[in-house]
Structure 1
Amino acid sequence: MNLVFLDASTLDRRDIDFSQLEKEGTLTLHPTTAPAETCSRVADAEVIISNKVPVTAEVLDAAPRLRLVVSAATGVNQIDLDACRDRKIGVANVAGYSTESVAQHTFSLILELATRTITYSSKVRQDWPASPIFTRLDHPTFELAGKTLGIVGLGTIGRAVARIASAFGMKVIAYAREGSSADESIPRIREGDFFSQADIVSLHCPLTPETQHFMNAARISAMKPGALLINTSRGPLIEDAALSDALRSGQLGGAGLDVLAVEPPPADHPLLEEGIPNLLITPHTAWSTREARSRLLEGIIANIRSYKAGENLNRIV
């Protein structure tokens, strides 16, 4: 079986062992693949593995032997699912591999906005020994204990974030969408009260037509003055221009993002402009700990073995 990994560098920084994957067939690892290269690289593939490289109908037609596409991620938005269905090509993803890593990253953004650790660390080299007093108060900080964390999307990652928040002495509430089940430990709050109560709103819901631009100008304006907005889920959940305006005006106290609506972002992306205060952006790295990447590779291998055994583990199509 010919296996082609189109963008292996998204998984490996020379610290991942691919030997178990190599046992499943003849493996070709491409660090990256440009759109113009994809069709030629999959010509003999029976299994395509892709994290970000688009697997379009054109790519599928260029791979007559193709039987399975494995997303090296939980999301499958890089794969044309309808085209796979039409051609009876299976699609599988890997869920749950990065729960603890994403929850940890979520809180690293929250903690930086609350404590300004990086900001103050840079000032040590800039300001001393010129300043006679070894302390600064020019960037306000606050305690998390007693604050309310509002979680949108109470799945496995949302619950992991809630667990960490509880350890900091925070109150945790969840956004109550229509049809959501009751939870005795975390109260679900209807929209109006949810945004008025939460000191920090953290997004952990999937991207669907209903959740695209979920945090629009109206919902952002409904947040507490000075509240924080965190997104380690999907970039299009936030309306970028509305967030930029709310940060510039001081309506929001800050935002921490690990995802953007377009990745890589264009040079004129509204959230990359100069002068936006209290905005942290990391380049979609919340999932990328070595432990998570090792679990991801294990999930890819399990999906391929399942397909070979005639089973449907993690099948989307």
Structure 2
Amino acid sequence: MTRIVFLDRDTLPTRPFCFDFPHDYAEYGLTAPDELAARIAGADIVICNKVVFDRAAFAAAPRLKLIALTATGYDNIDLPAAREAGVTVCNVRAYGNESVAEHALMMMLALMRNLPAYMRDVAAGVWQNAPFFCHFGAPVRELHGKTLTLFGRGNIGQTLAGYARAFGMTVLWGERKGAASVREGYTPFGQALAQADVVSLHCPLNAQTRHMIGEAELQMMKAGAVLINVGRGGLADEQAVLAALKYGQLGGAGFDVLGQEPPRNGNPLLARLPNLIVTPHNAWASAEALSRMTDMVEANVRAFVAGTPQNTV
């Protein structure tokens, strides 16, 4: 009987899994580090999202054959240790393209039209006390005719580019910061920033991309430009972004990711500013994306059990 253990079910709030082979299944809402060894000791297959698997974890699970991630990222898994232990690791890919791209587009629209500022004004009674039929406050701008610079040309970036073009925007693909040459179809890093009305980040976080947007880069951007980060916390220097918002260099910022999540110790971008939108890392979590992810995890497990592993990392 195949023993399957899901270690952090609460990170995937969707329907139960359905597997068409004999198995024994257990799930836990969350798993703390000191609970891990006992829960995986007899497991053949582990399903997880963010639980960390290091060498000690693999040593505690001698029967383990597969880790099926409910995420695209796999930085929580020590891959060399997994290979040495003979454990296959697979992830899910492209399940959230539309969900994340739509979230970025929503932020772009809201910030270009200064929706948070107008919602604040209405709540404060400014419109109710206006001398005529409408209230003129923060500037309202259209996406049509504006330039969107994207850093990261993966599935989500490509999907957002399609949405932006449908709104009449010009799309630029920004070259990597510090690149020695510029790839065909890309715009040099500094030029891509300088031409943008909106900059949207869709890169992985690594040594090269950490704080790729800092004070110097924000100064390169047009005054009043909008910055969107639905990629990874740490791509932008959050203190520098806050300062740029306060002093008017940035017209708005929309972040779905922060350097530490959840931000229990605070974060500069938790400030209450009318041109700042922060959402709790849920751009990926539309009902449709959750359903697709569940289907993909099931398919990965079934394929492995059938002897044809897929989406391995």
Q: Alignment partner of 1:33: what SS?
A: coil
Q: Which runs of 5+ in 2 are unaligned?
A: none
Match of 1:91 among 85, 89, 93: 89
Separation of aligned partners in 2, 1:254 and 1:80: 38
Whether 2:292 is the aligned partner of 1:291: answer no
Say yes or no: does 1:309 pair with 2:306. Answer: yes
Q: Which deviates more from structure 2 when the two are superposed, residues 256-265 or residues 55-64? A: 55-64
Higher deviation after alignment, 285-294 or 42-51:
42-51
Match of 1:156 in 2: 155
Quick check: 1:28 aligned with 2:29?
Answer: no
CA distance in 2, matches of 1:78, 1:249: 38
| Aligned residue pairs, count | 308
Gaps of 5+ in 1: none
**Are 1:234 and 2:236 matched, yes or no?**
no
The equivalent position to 2:52 in structure 1, one of 54, 66, 72, is 54
* Paired AA for residue 276 in structure 2: L
Which residue of 2 is the match for residue 200 of structure 1?
198
Q: CA deviation at 1:22?
A: 7.2
Q: Structure 1 residues 100, 240: CA separation in 2 closer, same or farther (over 3 Å shift)?
A: same
TM-score normalized by the length of structure 2: 0.91
Written as runs of structure 1 = structure 2, the 5 A alignment for 1:238-253 is 238-253=236-251
* 1:208 Cα deviation after fit: 2.7
Mark the CA change 1:111 to 1:22 in structure 2 (over 3 Å): closer, same or farther: farther
TM-score normalised over the length of structure 1: 0.89
Q: Which residue number in structure 2 is paired with residue 139 of structure 1? A: 138
Mapped partners of 1:9, 1:134: distance in 2: 48
Q: Is the Cα contact below 8 Å between 1:244 and 1:276 reproduced in 2? A: no
Change (3 A) 1:88 1:180: farther
The 1:40–1:135 alpha-carbon spacing in structure 2 relative to 1, beyond 3 Å, is farther
Which range moves more in the overlay, 156-165 or 43-52? 43-52
Contact 1:247/1:277 (<8 A) preserved: no
Matches within 5 A, 1:62-81: 62-81=60-79
Residues 24 and 305, structure 1, Cα contact 8 Å, conserved in 2: no
Q: Do the aligned partners of 2:53 and 2:77 also contact (CA within 8 Å) in 1?
A: yes
Q: Is 1:175–2:174 an aligned residue pair?
A: yes
Instruction: Label 1:249 to 1:52 Cα distance change in 2 as closer, same or farther (>3 A).
Output: same
SS at match of 1:287: coil
Give the conservation status (yes or no) of the 8 Å contact 2:173–2:187. yes
- Does the 8 Å CA contact 2:117/2:274 hold for their aligned counterparts? no
User: Among the aligned pairs, what percent are the same residue?
Assistant: 41
> 1:160 Cα deviation (Å)?
0.7
Q: Which amino acid aligns with 2:296?
A: G
